Structure 1
Amino acid sequence: MGGTLARAMLAAGHTVTVWNRTKGRTDELVAAGALEAQAPSSAVAASPLVVMCTIDKVACETVLQMSEVSGLLTSKTVVNLSTGSSDDARRISEFVEQQGGRYIDGGIMAYPRDIGKPGTTILYSGNEPGFSEHRKVLQSMAGNAVFLGNDAGTASVVYLALYAYYFGAVTAFMEGAALAEKAAVGPEAFRKLSGIVETMLADGLVDITRRLNEGNYSGDQATINVHHAGQTAVREAYIQDGIGYETTKAYMSYLEKAQREGNGDKDIAAMYSAVKTRN
């Protein structure tokens, strides 16, 4: 991913200095016009904006804490696009600020194939002046640069939450496709049909969030009990055809918890309370 980010900045006409701990990993970038740094300190010294993309935030932190690097952070804006926790982000932010620098944490909401496109999103939070100053450079990596506030930990939380939603949906799609295939409806045909559910989902999420905001859980559309009965039929179909159904199990476990909480006659939005606590 780091190389793809660098290529996007190069394509936008920016001067990019690159460093990688593995020898040879920057050769293609240098051939494309990047300047190669022989050490991380050289890369940091080369620009007022330092974009880091490592295996995780701890690896990024390790580099920043090198004595030859930390001493160069004064007046630098560090953008960390590595995966990690909100605690990691806040801790690194504090360290960078102690060195006189500005820290922005980020979450890339895309695969490498979409980097550099105007509709691609990267979430950011942290130092707002730094974000504003370097917005155009950041938008060369992903046109939809979304700033979520001054708390460096916010972007990480929202990033993880959105990917939990995304991969849950991907898994549910695969389970549904496997079931549909038993009826001779292949994955591509099922994907085209899935647009029906996507429309339902968009409408359903609007209704759910409205109900959560209003505290209105009346079961005027379909109660949790009705959802559970319908999902029981879905579960039996999976069992009969010998297909994995982990997302259905998870959904039913939340429905059953909501029923135990006395919310069986309420709208599906009432299941949110069952999701928010683990016990």
Structure 2
Amino acid sequence: MNHSPALPPVTVLGLGPMGQALAATFLGAGHPTTVWNRTAGKAADLVARGAVLAGTAAEAVAASPLVVVCVLDYDAVHAVLDPAAGELAGRTLVNLTADTPGRARATAAWAAGLGAGYLDGAIMVPTTVVGGPSALVLYSGPESVYEAHRPTLACLGGTAVHLGADPGRAAAHDVALLDVFWTAMSGIVHAFALASAEDISAADLVPYAKGIGALLPDIMDDFARRIDRGEYAGDGSDLLSAATGMEHIIHTARGHGLDTGVLTAAHAVARRAIDAGRGSDSFALLAETIARTPA
């Protein structure tokens, strides 16, 4: 790999599937790339393509003004970076590890105490999309730090969005969006289990399930307007009818001996709003009901 001397070097710490995709993308864009991983063998393909394998995390950090870390969680981030903390002063740490907004803010404060710039980020696509036009990466932290490294980060492809100075904002978006994803995934597998119990194959159910999915974008827009305005009139579809439909599903599933924990919990939230006299309101009201749930 012939690197342009005009392109700044980058270090990537952590070579799981996403870390490897990030390092390969920086390499492909022509950035001199140093890599480190606790299991050195994972770097073999990248080294063959021109990456430099550092012997320690501290050596890897010292090699570049921009250090990107992508590991399992923030415990792993600190396990990697605490021994290399002395090398972080004057560098920028871009943490693309998924974790909580609170831990993102705490890690930003830790980095600032070491004299390092800090950006927190959330990669909202699978590894196969990194570097391509469909990639989406969310960043938060000081705008000046983001702007200083935006040209380098842009090679990760697609759309990069800076969400503001609060270092926890990218992680907040990440957990909220993954809440949508994993709750929906739970509903999908439960629906397939329920259909199977009624001798309906997954393949037979899919076309109709996709039709349900196609309704969701307009529902999201409607709910967002209601929630932001605090206006929840039922307008033809209310919590009472929703709760009744949920009860039918729970009754059928229990009749087949299926686990109903997820939907039972959702139904309990709806019932709490109904018992408070809000049965004629929109399902969107439950965003407020959830916010009032005792810890």
Could you tell me the TM-score, scaled by structure 2's length?
Answer: 0.86
What amino acid sits opposite 2:251 in the alignment? E
User: How many residue pairs align between the two structures?
Assistant: 277
Please say if 1:33 is aligned against 2:50: yes
1:71 partner SS: helix
Map of 1:14-93 to 2, 5 A cutoff?
14-66=31-83, 69-93=84-108
Q: Deviations over 1:12-64 (max 9, x none)?
A: 22221001122322112111221111111221122111000122112223433
**Residues 118 and 90 (structure 1), Cα distance of their counterparts in 2 relative to 1, 3 Å cut:** same
Q: Which residue of 1 aligns with 2:180?
A: 165
Q: Separation in 1 of the partners of 2:33 and 2:24? A: 9
The structural deviation recorded for 1:184 is 4.7
Show the counterpart of 1:238.
253
Match status 1:150 vs 2:159: no
Q: Give the unaligned 5+ runs of structure 2.
A: 1-17
> Residues 58 and 88 of structure 1 are in contact (CA less than 8 Å); yes or no, is this contact kept in structure 2?
no
- Specify the code of the residue in structure 2 equivalent to 1:46: A
| Residue of structure 2 in register with 1:99 after alignment | 114
CA deviation profile, 1:72-107 (whole Å, cap 9, x unmatched)? 323311101112222322222122223322100112
Residue matched to 1:111: 126
The Cα shift of 1:182 comes to 4.1
2:222 alignment partner in structure 1:
207
Contact kept, 8 Å, 1:57 with 1:80, in 2: the verdict is no
What secondary structure does 1:235 align onto? Answer: helix
- Please give the secondary structure, in 1, of the residue aligned with 2:67: strand
1:47 is paired with a residue whose SS is coil
Give, in whole Å, the separation in 2 of the partners of 1:188 and 1:135.
44
> Does the 8 A contact of 1:258 with 1:273 survive in 2?
no
- Larger mean Cα displacement after TM superposition, 29-38 or 69-78: 69-78
Task: After superposition, give the CA deviation of every residue in 1:127-176 in whole Å (9 maximum; x if it has no partner).
Answer: 22222222233233342222211111111122112112101100101111
> How well do the aligned residues superpose, as a CA RMSD in angstroms?
1.9
Contact conserved, 1:224 with 1:265, CA < 8 A, in 2?
yes
Q: Is the 8 A contact 1:223 1:267 kept in 2?
A: yes
* Structure 1 unaligned blocks of 5 or more: none
Go from structure 1 to structure 2 and tell me whether the alpha carbon gap of 1:33 and 1:185 turns closer, same or farther (over 3 Å shift): farther
TM (norm. structure 1) is 0.91
Give distance in 2, aligned partners of 1:93 and 1:255: 38
User: Structure 1's 160 and 183: CA in aligned 2 closer, same or farther, altered over 3 A?
Assistant: same
**Counterpart secondary structure, 2:41:** coil
CA distance in 2, matches of 1:31, 1:217: 59
